[in-house]
Amino acid sequence: MRPLQRVLAQSSRPKITVPWSNNRYPVSMRNLPPRVRHKAIEIANGLLAAGRPEGQAIRIGIWSARHWAAAHAVRRARRAGGNTGRRR
């Protein structure tokens, strides 16, 4: 490949941009708590970068973030010595 062709081929590649942030996110994430929304945005952006379709990335991101938050809340309560909702 000639040097000029190589430069043109590299410049024509699409740049990967992060489509969502804490200020701009999908409507379906509107009612999530801020910590969970931040994690869902992080996961969904990663899935988009990996080539997943937008709708699928949003659904998986929300689901994964909710599970992450639930597990994180239990660990946090145990460390603080709080009640985890279980009877002893």
Q: Could you please report the per-residue DSSP string of 34-57?
A: HHHHHHHHHHHHHHHHTT--HHHH
Among candidates 62, 76, 75, which has minimal Cα distance to 33?
A: 62
Q: Given this model, what pLDDT does residue 73 score?
A: 82
Please report whether residue 50 resides in a domain: yes
Please report whether residue 56 resides in a domain: yes
Structural domain count of the chain: 1
Q: What is the pTM of this model?
A: 0.67
Give the mean pLDDT of 50-61. Answer: 95
Residue 65 has pLDDT above 90, yes or no: yes
Q: Which position has the higher pLDDT, 15 or 31?
A: 31
Q: 29-59 burial string, b = 16+ CB within 10 Å, else e? A: beebeeebbbbbbbbbbebbeeebeeeebbb
Please report whether residue 48 resides in a domain: yes
CA distance 65 to 71: 10
Name which of 8-12, 31-35, 82-86 the model is least confident about.
Answer: 8-12
Give the mean pLDDT of 7-21. Answer: 61
Give the mean pLDDT of 52-77. Answer: 90
Domain that holds residue 60: 33-79
